Amino acid sequence: MSLRSRLLIAVGAVVILALGAANVATYSALRSFLFDRVDQTLQTTTLAVERDLQRRPLPESDTLSETQPAPPPALPNTLASVAPGTFVQVRDETGSPLQGETQPAFVPGGDRYTPRVPTDVEKGISFTVEARQSDGPQFRTRVLTLPSGEQLVVAVPLTETLATLNRLLALQLVVTAVALVAAGLLGWWLVRVGLRPLRDVERTAEAIADGNLQERVPVDSPRTEVGRLGHSFNVMLGRIEDAFAERDATEADVRASEDRLRRFVADASHELRTPLAAVSAYAELLQAGAVEQPEDLDRVMHGIQDETGRMKRLVDDLLLLARLDEGRSLESEPLELVGLTAQAVETARAVATDRTVRLDADRPLEVVGDRVRLRQVIDNLLGNVRAHTPPGTATTVSLHERDGTAVLDVADEGPGLTDEQLAHVFERFYRADGSRSRAHGGAGLGLAIVAGIVAAHGGSVTAANRPGGGAVFTVVLPLAESPAG
């Protein structure tokens, strides 16, 4: 059974119980009131008849037969205070009616009826009896013992009283039926409106089951039960969506990491293959005895030394990147960055005498870090300029403070970088010339090492093109905290 059906049944049951209780209470109250009023009238009439009978002795008469017609009664002439239609009868001590002492009851329409009053009844209280005639009404009856020992019976027909109660009962049934139908229709509408948010939840759940995790339940008022349910449902959906997004991001990171690892292994293998092949070729020449002249032997040995040196530098760079990836801590000491940069600039001037390298720094800047690795950052940036700009290209190295950080700019006046180069310049084994030749640089690890070292110091490095031409590499490092004064 659906929730809507259960709610409607519950509303109907409550309405039936409430109206039933109200109808029973109303009917009982009115019946009690009407019967009390009849009893009061009956008591007043009984006392009045008793006084009249005591004032005037009743004539003697033989017991009347139930089947013989009664003679003209003497009571109406004697008891003028009795209301029309009231039954009055005098009985002897045995309970037999006295002849001529009976006034029959009249009901609307002029029919005469006689109540069936038992001989053994409790005196002085009102009770209800049936008529002797099968189609007669009920009577409210009272029996009183006179001082002479005779019994006075007074009865009032309940025709109008029962008709009033029957009309009330019919009215209650009609009102109950109408109220039940109205309550059912109103309850159906209210349940339909009240359950509308649940249908929204159902539609949202179906949309989510189809894969739309961005769907949400509209919440009109968070203070209602359904509103709180919708809010909790939306919070749950948000967490589920975040979990799925995190899972997708993790899977994407894992795939990207695997791709980087494959590229890294492939590039490292390619970089090592050339010097290994050269060393192998030199070794085969020596083994075959093809090198007999001293000058050829010197050339072969120098070639072996060059290739093994190249392999050593490549392996050292790879080991440094691996340590940075593992998060191994570097040396940490306070150092003055302007002096360290000046040393690197002097070295660059000595290596490339045809280039102009200028240092621009207004004041000392102190940072905390690894002196050797930070020097390697500056050397790699200056070496990158020498490898990818024409001879004689001027370079400016500037240092300044910005928002509590030390900013190192290495700017050149060369051809600048393309959009693709800007996007991949800090990737490992990336070469700007798009070939595997070493004519324009090394293995493509210099700038990747720069990015790794700077990140290990809590800084950042970016590359951009200068508005006037050329490229600029910017390194941002946190300044050392000043000692408390």
Tens of pLDDT along 384-417? 999 888 988 999 999 999 988 999 999 999 888 8
pLDDT of 442: 59
Collect contacts of 205-211 with beta carbons under 8 A, ≥24 apart: 208/237
- Residues 217-244: b if buried by 16+ CB within 10 A, e if exposed: bebeeeeeebbebbeebbeebeeeeeee
Mean pLDDT of the chain: 80
* CB 365 within 8 Å of CB 338: yes
Residue 12 has pLDDT above 70, yes or no: yes
**pLDDT at site 66:** 47
Residue 428: closest CA among 289, 300, 355, 322: 322
375 neighbors 415 (Cβ within 8 angstroms): no
Instruction: Average the pLDDT over 414-441 and give the result.
Output: 71
Give 115's DSSP letter. B
In this predicted structure, the answer to whether residue 485 has a pLDDT above a threshold of 60 is: no
Q: Which of 11, 14, 32 is nearest to 22 (CA)?
A: 14
Helix 196-209 with 159-194: angle, nearest 10 deg: 30
The arithmetic mean of pLDDT across residues 73-96, rounded, is 68
Model confidence at 435, in pLDDT bands (50, 70, 90)?
A: very low
The pLDDT of residue 135 is 82
**Which part of the chain is CATH 1.10.287.130?**
219-328
**What are 295's two structure tokens?**
């000058």
| More confident call, 1 vs 336 | 336
pLDDT at 337 over 90: yes
Mean pLDDT value of segment 146-171: 89
**pLDDT above 50 for 76:** no
Grouping H, G, I as helix, E, B as strand and the rest as coil, residue 89 is strand
* Residue 227 predicted with pLDDT over 60: yes
| C-alpha to C-alpha distances, 377 to 234, 304, 310, 344, 412, nearest whole angstrom | 49, 29, 19, 10, 16
Most confidently modeled range among 104-108, 161-165, 194-198, 300-304: 161-165
Q: 242 is written with which tokens?
A: 């975040």
Confidence at 433, pLDDT banded by 50, 70, 90: low
Cβ atoms 172, 28 nearer than 8 A: no
More confident residue, 131 or 205: 131
> What kind of architecture, by CATH, is found in domain 3-165?
2-Layer Sandwich (3.30)
Residue 236: half-sphere exposure toward Cβ, Cα within 13 Å: 11
- Does residue 370 contact residue 330 with C-beta atoms inside 8 Å? yes
Coil vs helix vs strand at 235 = helix
What's the pLDDT tens digit per position in 162-183? 999 999 999 999 998 998 888 8
Checking if the pLDDT of 443 tops 70, the result is no
- Better pLDDT: 441 or 26: 26
Element (H, E) at 395: strand 395-402
Q: Give how far the C-alpha of residue 168 lies from the chain's centroid of Cα atoms, to the nearest Å.
A: 52
Whether 442 and 388 have beta carbons less than 8 Å apart is answered as no
pLDDT of residue 474: 94
Superfamily of domain 329-478 in the CATH hierarchy: Histidine kinase-like ATPase, C-terminal domain (3.30.565.10)
- Encoded tokens for 453: 């070292």
Query: Which of the four pLDDT bands, split at 50, 70 and 90, describes residue 71?
Result: very low
352-375 pLDDT per residue, tens? 888 999 999 988 999 999 898 899
Report, as an integer, the average pLDDT of 114-135.
85
**The pLDDT of residue 460:** 94
CATH fold of 219-328 reads Helix Hairpins (1.10.287)
CATH code 3.30.450.20 region(s) in the chain? 3-165
Comparison of pLDDT for 328 and 242, the residue scoring more = 242
Predicted pLDDT of residue 165 = 92
Q: 63 pLDDT band (50/70/90 cuts)? A: very low
Give 323's Cβ-side CA count (13 Å radius). Answer: 13
> 316 versus 333: which is more confidently predicted?
333
If you average pLDDT over residues 217-226, what whole number do you get?
70
Task: Classify residue 71 by burial, with Cβ atoms within 10 Å: 0-12, 13-18, 19+.
Answer: exposed
Residue among 437, 478, 472 at smallest CA distance from 457: 478
Instruction: Select the more confidently predicted residue: 381 or 310.
Output: 381
413-428: average pLDDT: 86
- Give the confidence band of 339 by pLDDT, cuts at 50, 70, 90: very high
Contact, 338 vs 465, CB < 8 A? no
- CB-based contact 323:450 (threshold 8 Å): no
> What's the pLDDT at 358?
93
Alpha-carbon distance of 347 to 358, in angstroms, equals 12
Using the CB atoms, write b or e for 250-279: b if 16+ within 10 Å.
eeeeeeeeeeeeeebeebbeebbeebeebb
The answer, yes or no, to whether residue 255 has pLDDT greater than 90, is no
Cα–Cα dist 330/333, whole Å: 10
58 pLDDT higher than 50:
no
The answer to whether 143 touches 117, Cβ cutoff 8 Å, is yes
pLDDT band at 331 (very low <50, low <70, confident <90, very high): confident
Mean pLDDT of 15-34: 92
**Cα(472)–Cα(417) distance, integer angstroms:** 9
Return residue ranges of the chain for CATH 3.30.565.10: 329-478
